[in-house]
Amino acid sequence: MSQHGLHPSKALGQHFVADPNTTERIARLARIGPGDHVLEIGAGLGSLTVALAATGAQLTALEVDKGIIPVLREMVEPLGVTVVEADAMSCDWADLLATAPRWVLVANLPYNVATPLVLDLLRDVPAIDRMLVMVQREAGERLVAAPGERGFGAVSVRVAYFAAAGLLGRVPPGVFLPRPSVESVLVELQRRPSPAVDPAEASYEEIDLLLRAGFGGRRKMLRRSLEGLVDEAVFAAAGIDGRCRAEELSIEKWGKLVACRRSIVFGRPPS
């Protein structure tokens, strides 16, 4: 960075990994190798990219910062890495990933985009079969939490609809430049062969509608937070106590609530 007169961008949430032991650990936990197609988002100056390329996987590295792309290309293109200048929040995924049917995502995600990006990829980019992402600890706990656990919320339910998620370990602030004020974690997300709830019974959009209302008033009983959307007959048919709160329901129970709502409110029995 000093050699090229570069500085981390606060606007882009840049915290570069500056510890080779950490990058090698991530590459090992990614379980990738020759024959795998790997996408890295936010490659930065290439420290993680180099470790991923060493596995023999076919690697495509995305970077949005025009200022550091020449340095990134110089570092990793000789290793066979394809560098793409693109914004992960708005790029054409179908075009970018057209060269292979299945991909693994490995990324050190900026704190300000990590959660919405993961959710967008789960919902809209089925070609990404598995993810290993490094995110802020609080965000990571929300991604993997089960009902009753710390951090469980609407994000946890949305993730669970598409994937099985788990924490693989913590990453201390000292391995980053600049040093962040928070701890990071490694989260693995494995896409389910099919959603946790049959879309014919309860679509993602229908579940999301109830999640927004339910967790919008998460301190309230569901019969209050879902008032106008779900009545007592629906709760009874779903076998769910209307006095419980949003954070007590698993993805399967949210799906059941939607399916019974379909049947009772709209007269549409489950398929």
Q: CATH number of the domain that 169 lies in?
A: 3.40.50.150
Structural domain contains residue 6: no
Query: What is the percent of the chain where pLDDT is above 90?
Result: 84
- Residue pair 165/188 in contact (Cβ under 8 Å)? The answer is yes
Q: How confident is the model at residue 237 (pLDDT cuts 50, 70, 90)?
A: very high
Alpha carbon separation from 104 to 1, 89, 99, 101, 238 (Å, rounded): 29, 18, 13, 11, 37
- Residue pair 202/258 in contact (Cβ under 8 Å)? The answer is yes
Q: How confident is the model at residue 271 (pLDDT cuts 50, 70, 90)?
A: very low
Do 47 and 156 lie in a common domain?
A: yes
Do 96 and 209 lie in a common domain?
A: no
Do 139 and 252 lie in a common domain?
A: no
Structural domain contains residue 231: yes
- Residue pair 89/63 in contact (Cβ under 8 Å)? The answer is no
For 12-16, 59-63, 220-224, 244-248, which range has the lowest pLDDT when averaged over its residues? 12-16
- At 84-108, the pLDDT tens digits run 999 999 999 999 999 999 999 999 9
pLDDT at 5: 74
Do 186 and 209 lie in a common domain?
A: no
Q: Taking the chain, what is the end-to-end CA distance rounded to the nearest angstrom?
A: 58
Amino acid at 163: A
- At 127-169, the pLDDT tens digits run 999 999 999 999 999 999 999 898 999 999 999 999 999 999 9
The residue segments making up the domain with residue 158 are: 16-191
DSSP structure class, residue 247: G
Do 186 and 208 lie in a common domain?
A: no
Do 62 and 110 lie in a common domain?
A: yes
Q: How confident is the model at residue 180 (pLDDT cuts 50, 70, 90)?
A: confident
Structural domain contains residue 8: no
DSSP structure class, residue 199: T
pLDDT at 228 over 70: yes
- At 184-219, the pLDDT tens digits run 999 999 999 999 999 999 999 999 999 999 999 878
Domain count, the chain: 2
105 CB neighbour count, 10 Å cutoff: 24
